[in-house]
Amino acid sequence: MKKECEIVQDLLFGYVDGTLKNASKELVDKHLVECDECKMLLNELKGDKKVETEDTQEIDYLKKIKHKINKKTVIITIVSILLAIIVVLNIIVYLNYRDYAEEMEIFFNENVTEKELEDVKNAVLETADNVYIEYNSSKDALENLKRQMGDNAYLLDGYEEDKENIFPSSYALRANLDKIEEIKEKVEKMPGVKTVTTHTNINPYILLYAELFLIDNE
């Protein structure tokens, strides 16, 4: 009997796993009916098997949770990066727009007087604080345009002697963005003023695109 117990006990692992052939399974079934010791050992093996199965299921469950957490973390990270990019881009767009929109030009008639120039300047300074203002004569305007044209500046030769003032004198100024339109409304109908140019209505995104891809490429 002891020898048979040793054989059966060797087969019990396969018996629990269900991997025994029919003949071996029948041998074990028959032996277990008569042997309490082997039956106890079988129950222990089944208990260990159950614990092992539960542990495996728990591990699989934890792996699934970890996978979901990792996936959620990746999504949150990507969304956070995209939001950060959008925020930074909008800051760049706004700063670039503000830098451009805070500039304006006040162009004068050909026969503008010194008093009219002074009156316009005072009106600007009374409207806004921290204003940068620079006067450009007709000659200055022509020279600036020549510098911008570079090698093609010769096309403007002769305009210095032209009696018709095609390059009006002007004030180029910079002020706080919230004061630009107020300055325009105050000075555009003053004596001597021909026209006032501002840049507040330009689309900020189009402006940045033009500066990055169009103006630089020229």
Q: Looking at the predicted structure, is the pLDDT value of residue 208 above 50? A: yes
Measure the CA–CA gap between 182 and 104, rounded to whole angstroms: 12
Residue 84 lies in a domain: no
> What pLDDT is stored for residue 106 in this prediction?
95
> What pLDDT is stored for residue 48 in this prediction?
54
Q: What is the mean pLDDT of residues 76-102?
A: 91
| Chain mean position to CA 13 | 61
Same domain flag for 123 and 182: yes
Residue 97 lies in a domain: no
Residue 78 lies in a domain: no
Same domain flag for 50 and 122: no
List the CATH number of the domain containing 154: 3.30.70.3040
Q: What SS3 class is residue 2?
A: helix
How many separate domains does the chain show? 2
Q: What SS3 class is residue 195?
A: strand
Residue 76 lies in a domain: no
Query: Over the stretch 146-176, which tens digit does the pLDDT of each residue have?
Result: 676 677 766 666 665 555 557 788 999 999 9
Closest to 197 measured CA to CA, from 167, 158, 170 = 170
Residue 8 lies in a domain: yes
Residue 26 lies in a domain: yes
Same domain flag for 57 and 106: no
- Domain end call among 43, 61, 79: 61
Same domain flag for 185 and 119: yes
Residue 93 lies in a domain: no
Same domain flag for 111 and 210: yes
Measure the CA–CA gap between 162 and 141, rounded to whole angstroms: 14
Same domain flag for 116 and 44: no
Residue 67 lies in a domain: no
Q: Is 114 exposed, middle or buried (0-12, 13-18, 19+ CB in 10 A)?
A: exposed
Domain encompassing residue 208: 102-215
- CB of 101 closer than 8 Å to CB of 203: no
Q: What is the mean pLDDT of residues 66-82?
A: 81
Same domain flag for 33 and 116: no
Mean pLDDT of the chain: 79
pTM of the predicted protein model: 0.57
pLDDT band per the 50, 70, 90 thresholds, residue 75: confident
Same domain flag for 195 and 110: yes
Same domain flag for 56 and 115: no
Query: Over the stretch 26-44, which tens digit does the pLDDT of each residue have?
Result: 776 676 677 777 677 767 7
Give me the DSSP letters along 31-73.
HHHH-HHHHHHHHHHHHHHHHHHHHHHHHHHHHHHHHHHHHHH
Same domain flag for 113 and 210: yes
Same domain flag for 57 and 111: no
- CB of 171 closer than 8 Å to CB of 105: yes
Sheet of 170-174, strands arranged across: 132-136, 170-174, 103-108, 193-198
Same domain flag for 127 and 45: no
